[in-house]
Amino acid sequence: MEALSGFYVMTYRQLKKFSRARSRVIGTIVNPIIWVLFFGLGWSGVFNFPMAKQLFGGVDYLTFLAPGVLGMTLFLSGFISGISIIWDKQFGFFKEVLVAPTSRVASIIGRIFGDSLTTLIQLLIIFALLYPLAGSLSLMGLIPSLLIAFLSSMMFSGLGVIIALKMRSLEGFQLLINLVMMPTLFLSGALYPITTMPYWMKLLAYADPLTYPVDGMRYFLAGTSALQPTIDVVLVTAFTALSLGISSVLFRNTTVE
């Protein structure tokens, strides 16, 4: 009962904070739109020749890109929200939670859960904007895609929490963001297929946790994928469980320096 309370209230906090931070809401929606409009429409002019669809598993480039942009959004949003716990750590709210008698595991899972709900809301808005633009997105595929998106958003949020808990100061923050975010995004197959990557890059792509949510969502939304969708779902679930497990244990055992 008490544990549920900690879970509920941290979810509540993250949702409230999100709804109040208007710039964050606008930012997370505008960013993917810029990608789709300027990057997506730009390239879809290039891929306008006969047979071009074969490059992207039989769909037009925008349809191919749409699940990628959703994946990119859930990755950035999840990861940043998770790592933002560093601000709580730098200031006082972190201690507020640590000093409370409530279950720490429930608190951190509640926080990650709340952040992932906000990510889901963003994804729905972006999907609504993409749907008329991209040629042949499947409405039916939205539900399994959102499920994958929710799980992987928790995975990245947990990953962010793990990194934030291990970081001692804010100094390495920017470097880390660039070092982790760019490669994760480029290797995931969000912007171009994995299938045509050089062999060594493919290996890295398979090690990229973002590859599987993007591929899975692409299967359900665009009807094409590089891997078996079952593999995607199983791996996303496994990665999520691992990420939540590690972040919970780390948070439970954390002390102030």
Partner 1 sequence: MSDSIVVEDLVKKYGDLTAVAGISFTVKEGEIFGFLGPNGAGKTTTIHVLTTLLKPTSGDAYVNGYHVVREAQKVRESIGVVFQDPSLDDDLTAYENMYIHGRVYGIRGEKLRIRIDELLEFVDLQEFRNVRVKKFSGGMRRRLEIARALVHEPKIIFLDEPTIGLDPQTRYHIWEYIKKLRSEEGVTVFMTTHYMEEAEFLADRVAIIDHGKIVAQGTVEELKSMIGDEVIYLKLGRGPSNGGSVPCLEASFIKECRQLRPGEIALKVGNAGEAIPRVIELAKEKGWLIKEVRYKRPTLNDVFIYLTGKDIRESEGEAGEKIRHIIRSRLAR
Give the interface with partner 1 as residue ranges (CB under 8 A).
1-2, 5-6, 8-9, 12-13, 16-17, 20-21, 90-102, 107, 255-257
Length of the chain counted residue by residue: 257
Q: How far is CA 130 from CA 63, 150, 161, 239, in A?
A: 9, 19, 30, 28
Residue among 116, 146, 59 at smallest CA distance from 247: 116
Please identify, using beta-carbon distances, which residue of 99 and 140 lies nearer to partner 1: 99
What's the min distance (Å) between Cβ of 81 and partner 1? 14
How many C-beta atoms lie closer than 10 Å to residue 145's C-beta? 25
Contact 239, 153 (CB under 8 A): no
Nearer to partner 1, 5 or 237 (CB): 5
- Token duo for residue 240: 């999520």
Burial class (CB in 10 A: 0-12, 13-18, 19+), 20: exposed
**Residue 152 beta carbon to partner 1: minimum distance, rounded to whole angstroms:** 26
Q: Which is nearer to partner 1, 119 or 152 (CB)?
A: 119
Scanning 167-228, the segments in alpha helix (DSSP H) are: 173-187, 199-207, 211-222
Q: Quick one: 4 or 234, whose CB is closer to partner 1?
A: 4
CB of 6 to partner 1, least distance (A): 6
Choose between 94 and 219: whose C-beta lies nearer to partner 1.
Answer: 94
We find the least distance from the C-beta atom of residue 18 to partner 1, in angstroms, to be: 9
Please count the other Cβ atoms lying within 10 Å of the Cβ belonging to residue 168.
Answer: 9
Work out how close the CB of 112 gets to partner 1 at its nearest, in angstroms, rounded to a whole number: 16
CB of 106 to partner 1, least distance (A): 10
What the block records as the tokens of 30 is 């505008």
Question: Nearer to partner 1 by C-beta: 2 or 42?
Answer: 2
